């Protein structure tokens, strides 16, 4: 099966689709069926796989760097507002962050939803949820360290 170009989705649409996956999967199924029809009619993706790996590596680095910076800023703001935290507060933030990272890692669905092209809505929602959990976990841990 040829690779397809995924349909464009804004940040707000991605959040909406993730919420549908969690709370109203039947609606997501309807939207995915519509999207699958568009994908089947789309032209093949001409980008080389090596460039996709390069893009994914760069994007993931920027994403984690950005959320690490957010965590540092959040930690400094919390320190300015509330002073030095008690050890229990730091522990709770670190446990929450580690829990989110583990949840994201264990959440990832693999072959049972995977298509050859990896561009279906359910695959992309799965990836967005995974990334959101990892980013949130990273932010919690970094902010606890900066606080």
**pLDDT tens per residue across span 2-50:** 556 777 888 899 899 999 989 999 999 999 888 888 777 766 555 666 6
Q: How far apart are CA 84 and CA 116, in angstroms?
A: 51
User: CA 30, CA 11: separation in Å to the nearest integer?
Assistant: 20
Cα 124 from Cα 102, distance rounded (Å)? 20
pTM: 0.62
Q: Is the dihedral of CA 6, 9, 11, 17 positive or negative?
A: negative
3-state DSSP call for residue 88?
Answer: helix
User: What confidence tens digit (pLDDT) does each residue in 62-73 have?
Assistant: 988 999 999 999
The per-residue DSSP string of 120-133 comes to: SHHHHHHHHHHHHH
Please give the average per-residue pLDDT across 100-113, as a whole number. 72
Q: Where are the domains of the chain?
A: 11-42+73-146
């Amino acid at each position: 099966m040829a690779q397809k170009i995924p349909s464009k989705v804004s940040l707000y649409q991605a959040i909406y689709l993730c919420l549908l996956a969690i709370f109203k999967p039947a609606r997501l199924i309807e939207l995915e069926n519509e999207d699958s029809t568009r994908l089947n009619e789309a032209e093949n993706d001409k980008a080389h796989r090596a460039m996709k790996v390069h893009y994914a590596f760069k994007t993931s680095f920027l994403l984690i760097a950005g959320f690490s910076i957010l965590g540092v800023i959040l930690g400094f703001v919390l320190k300015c507002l509330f002073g030095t935290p008690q050890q229990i507060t730091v522990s709770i933030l670190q446990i929450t962050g580690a829990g989110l990272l583990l949840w994201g890692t264990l959440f990832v669905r693999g072959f049972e939803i995977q298509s050859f092209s990896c561009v279906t809505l359910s695959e992309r929602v799965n990836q967005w949820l995974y990334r959101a959990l990892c980013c949130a976990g990273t932010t919690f841990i970094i902010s606890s360290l900066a606080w």
